[in-house]
Amino acid sequence: MRSTSLDLEVEERFRFYELDAREREKIVDELREELEKRREILLAVVYGSLLRGEPFRDVDVAVYVNIEVDILDYKFRLERKLSERVGCLVEVKVLNEAPPRLVLKILESGEILVDHLGKAEKLYKKALDENCFTASADATRRTPLSRD
């Protein structure tokens, strides 16, 4: 029976990679090289199980771009390009519209590959402010009003 592209995609989605530190570093270097070429990317971060040294299904990469784009279209095109470059699945998160908590998690746990114009620090401070504001608003909503 012939495999269809859907069969191959499903097979790849459930494949896990176990690489030594040298092979992992090679993937990170390939990603850095590819992402540095792209002028629209102000910030790129690799994070997740690849960095933690665990078996991984895909490589997690987050980017912040300086152009107005269809986020999903951009994400899928970049995923395809990076996956071809490194030889395994790459999942891209576009940080431009990401929730502050996710931005904080990625910046705190990841390795910065590209950072133009100090975008990492600016985005981190913005996410901290927004996260604190959200947490404060949540706490206010949960606090019962006093009846004095």
| Pairing relationship of beta strands 41-47 and 111-115 according to DSSP bridges | antiparallel
3-state secondary structure of 127: helix
Angle between helices 21-36 and 71-86 (to 10 degrees): 130
- The topology under which CATH files domain 5-142 is Beta Polymerase; domain 2 (3.30.460)
* pLDDT for 146: 47
Indicate the pTM of the whole model.
0.81
Considering only CA atoms, give the Rg of the chain.
Answer: 19
Calculate the CA 67 to chain-centre distance. Answer: 17
- Mean pLDDT, rounded, for 86-114: 97
5 vs 82, higher pLDDT? 82
**How far, in Å, CA of 10 to CA of 31, rounded?**
24
Q: Where are the domains of the chain?
A: 5-142
